[in-house]
Amino acid sequence: MQDTSTIDIDLSAIDHNMLCIRRVVGDGCALCPIVKADAYGLGVTRVARRLVGAGAQMLAVYSLRQAIETAAAVNGAVPILVLMPVTSIAREDELVRLMLAGQLHLVVHDEENLAALEACAASLGIELPVHVEVDVGMSRGGALPDEAVRIIARIAHSSRLTLRGVFAHFSHARTDAALTARQMECYEYVIAASRADMPSDVLEHVASTYALARDARYHRTMVRFGVAWLGYGLDELEAPDAVIAREELRPVVRWSTAVVQAKAIPAGTAVGYGGRWIAQRPSTIALIPVGYSDGYPLPRTPDASGRACVRLFTPDGRMVHAPVVGVVNMDQLTVDVTGLHTGDIHDWIGCSVELISRDIHAPTHLPRLAAEAGLIPHELLTRLNPRIARTTSISANVLTPEAAQALGNAAPTAASRVNSAAG
């Protein structure tokens, strides 16, 4: 065994989740999946093209480097929205080709940023598509409402900038309906005050995964969502009347490995550094070749040891769950499999182990594993070590023949409306 574990990406689950979101938001609302951080660690090259084939009309990243990688992955099929503040792009930069094609959309965060982007576009001799971010309460990038109104008015009279979107990002969309509604009012103030300066096809987008699922009022003309396309996010959402049910999304990720050793220990034997777990009975301990260097999360507190578990397939083929005991090591886990197999303990060697399951009801469901370590799903996903082998699979064909053909061509007709407006 050269690879100690494998992360499998179910491409058909991506298709399913995108179609589910499309049904919820309707045909008049564009889809903009976020693929920053190398598509949450899953590999933007393998994922972005699938998203485009499944109906993405724009893709959002954070940095210019990510934009280059994403544009190359989809061969310019859809525009790329860069969320970070950008003030300059060198003439020889490979991004210029995307800018000339109108396929690179940048964000205006304040009036100084506006001036810098206008100067950049003038120096390159191009017209640059931009989105204005309204700071409605995050205090993380973007312009406060009155400044945003001034920026939109200036863009309307600019010969170098074209307004393609106005957006916001809510600070409490997961947990606080009332505060999210108040922040929406700040955004709507900007839209109302700027309507005369906004082209009719400007994209209005405020919905992250949480806002998208919370209420249809946040869908506007585009939704800009992250972990929903991965099948996550709704476990943590505090919204009893959500417009997407948790069961409607399918988790994309499965992380698996295999048992490399099993040993019998007597009652009273300590396991792992510090002896934090002590066998209360004669026990069988299985060794799993995965640890925190791979991204497996550490327990939130020492007394949380034993709450996390893995799913194993026993030597006779049954599916069982067993607790992780002792301290999580750099590259090893110890698991208590006592009583789960009546044959020789060495039969465990080579048995398959799921660290992250696609079963939303399993204790190895990614959001539950993350919560045990005090993490959010986004963080756990991006912590998974990039050296772990990634594979792809297709468990079911959920695309229409037309969408499947579009995926093969990497240029779906669903992207045409946003594409044609890009430049």
Mean pLDDT value across residues 71-97: 92
Q: Are residues 174 and 286 in the same domain?
A: no
Number of folded domains that form the chain = 2
Q: Do residue 228 and residue 292 come from a single domain?
A: no
3-state SS, residue 225: strand
Do residues 349 and 412 share a domain?
Answer: no
Mean pLDDT of 66-90: 95
| C-alpha Rg value of the chain to the nearest Å | 24
Q: For all residues of the chain together, what is the average pLDDT?
A: 92
Instruction: Return the residue matching tokens 């929903």.
Output: 228
Which of 14-28, 73-87, 88-102 is predicted least confidently?
Answer: 88-102
- Whether residues 231 and 278 share a domain: the answer is no
Over 60: is that where the pLDDT of 356 sits? yes
Give the bridge partners for 165, in sequence order.
131, 203
65 CB neighbour count, 10 Å cutoff? 11
What is the per-residue DSSP string for 153-207? HHHHT-SSEEEEEEEE--SSTTT-HHHHHHHHHHHHHHHHHHGGGS-TTPEEE-B
Phi-psi region of 4 (alpha: psi -120 to 50; beta: other; left: phi over 0): alpha
Contact by Cβ (8 Å): 236, 228: no
Domain boundary among 357, 383, 414: 357
pLDDT of residue 413: 33
Torsion of CA 13, 18, 20, 24, to 10 degrees: 160
Tokens encoding 273: 């550094």
368 within domain boundaries: no
Cα torsion through 372, 277, 253, 244, rounded to 10: -30
Q: pLDDT tens digit string along 186-220? A: 999 999 999 999 999 999 999 999 999 999 999 99
| Residue 385 counted as domain residue | no
Residues 188 and 306 in one domain: no
Give me the residue label for tokens 């465990």. Answer: 348
Same-domain check for residues 233 and 258:
no
Which pLDDT does position 415 carry in this prediction?
33
In whole angstroms, give the CA distance from residue 286 to residue 324.
9
**How many other C-beta atoms can be found within 10 angstroms of the C-beta atom of residue 343?**
10
Question: Which of 339, 357, 375 is a domain's end point?
Answer: 357
Checking if the pLDDT of 47 tops 60, the result is: yes
Q: What angle do CA 356, 358, 361 make, to 5 degrees?
A: 95
Are 211 and 88 members of one domain?
yes
Q: What confidence tens digit (pLDDT) does each residue in 88-117 have?
A: 988 878 888 899 998 999 999 999 999 999
pLDDT attached to residue 92 = 78
3-state per-residue secondary structure call for 349-398: CCCEEEEEECCCCCCCEHHHHHHHCCCCHHHHHHHCCCCCEEEEECCCCC
Q: Are residues 61 and 204 in the same domain?
A: yes
Tell whether 135 and 226 lie within a shared domain. Answer: yes
Residue 303 pLDDT: 57
**pLDDT for residue 235 is more than 70:** yes
Domain-embedded: residue 1: no
At what angle are helices 44-53 and 64-74 packed, to 10 degrees? 60
Backbone angles phi, psi at 262, to 5 degrees: -140, 140
C-alpha dist (Å) from residue 409 to 103, 138, 391: 18, 39, 22
CATH number at 200 reads 3.20.20.10
The verdict on residue 375 lying in a domain is no
pLDDT tens, 308-333?
A: 899 999 999 999 999 999 999 999 99
Tell me what percent of the residues of the chain surpass a pLDDT of 70: 92
Q: Which of 169-173, 334-338, 410-414 has the lowest mean pLDDT?
A: 410-414
Does 229 share its domain with 268? no
**For residue 336, is it within any domain?**
yes
Per-residue pLDDT at 412: 35
Q: What does the pLDDT read at residue 162?
A: 97
Assigned domain for 369 exists = no
Q: What is the DSSP letter of 1?
A: -
Mean pLDDT within 356-366: 96
Q: Is position 85 within any domain?
A: yes
What residues are paired with 14 via a beta bridge? none
Cβ atoms of 31 and 413 closer than 8 Å: no
Residue that finishes a domain, picked among 327, 357, 387 = 357
Quick: pLDDT tens for 270-287. 999 999 899 999 999 999
Residue 411 has what pLDDT? 35
**Span 362-377, pLDDT tens digits:** 999 999 999 989 999 9
Q: Do 257 and 223 share a domain, yes or no?
A: no
Give 87's DSSP letter: -
- Same domain as 192, residue 70: yes
The continuous run of DSSP H or E covering 324 comes out as strand 319-325
| Structure tokens belonging to residue 150 | 């001034």
pLDDT of residue 396 exceeding 80? no
Give the Cα separation of 51 and 107 in Å (integer).
Answer: 22
pLDDT in the model for residue 404: 56
pLDDT value at 398 more than 70: no
Burial of 302-316, coded b for 16+ CB within 10 Å and e otherwise, reads eeebebbbbbbbbbe
- pLDDT, residue 302, reads 57
Is position 381 within any domain?
A: no
Residue range(s) defining the domain that contains residue 330: 253-357
Q: With DSSP H G I counted as helix, E B as strand and the rest as coil, what are the percentages for the chain, rounded to 5?
A: 35, 20, 40
